[in-house]
Homo-oligomer: A and B are copies of this chain.
Amino acid sequence: MQSVKPDQGQSEQIASQLRNDIISGRMKEGAPLREIALAKQFKVGRGPIREALQRLSHEGMVTAKPNCGVRVAASPPNSIQELIIPLRRTLETFALRSFYHDLKPTDFQRWDDILQRMRRACENCDYASTVELDIEFHQSIVERAEQSDLLSIWLTMVSRLRHQFQQGHRKYDDAMKIYYEHAAIVAIFQTGDLEQSLQTLEWSIS
């Protein structure tokens, strides 16, 4: 039957879509997310909606007040960036160190794939895709460590940067700059020089 979907992650799909709506700015700060409205919109019951909302709440995308519903969370102050940058540097270098001795061709295949898509996005000045690929690249490093705890902590930190993503970060002034930067990172990885790789990765996080 066509209606039989895999459906393992129905709530995750819903959460993902709402995440995009919030990150893209389509939903403004303080906008309410009503369970019934979302249930009708996604053609599901309220159960999966509540799960997705709880997930987003834990990620800090929305704030939930008991018996009152959830709203798009106010953006954290820009000063949070000064905290998250060193945290990310510590975590991502820790992750890279943990599997650097076991780099395989498939790893570089994945990175090359990301780089290819990133190049196209940069060439087309597709800002949204560029941001997403920037995140995907760094996330791929954390995931490669194959320690779910690392990914959980990383996601908790990065999801607080949504405001920096929304309004074009100064980092993305020059369209191609971010592509070259990441291409350089992968090139350093290929040399097998651990210390140099750690430094380059660390420097790229800003």
Residues of A within 8 A of B (CB): 8-9, 47, 50-51, 54-55, 58, 60, 63, 66-67, 76-77, 80, 82-83, 86-87, 90-91, 94, 147-150, 152-153, 156-157, 160
A47 proximity list for chain B (CB < 8 A): 47
Residues in B with CB closer than 8 Å to A67 are: 8
B91 touches A147 (CB 8 A): no
Query: Quick one: copies of this chain in the complex?
Result: 2
Majority secondary structure of chain A interface residues (helix, strand, loop or mixed): helix
Contact B152 A80 (CB under 8 A): no
Least CB distance from A148 to B in Å reads 7
Cross-interface CB contact of A156 among B54, B83, B152, cutoff 8 Å: B152
Do A87 and B76 touch (CB < 8 A)? no
Bound CA–CA A94/B58 (angstroms): 21
Please give, as numbers and ranges, the residues of chain B lying within 8 Å of A55 by CB-CB distance: 54, 58
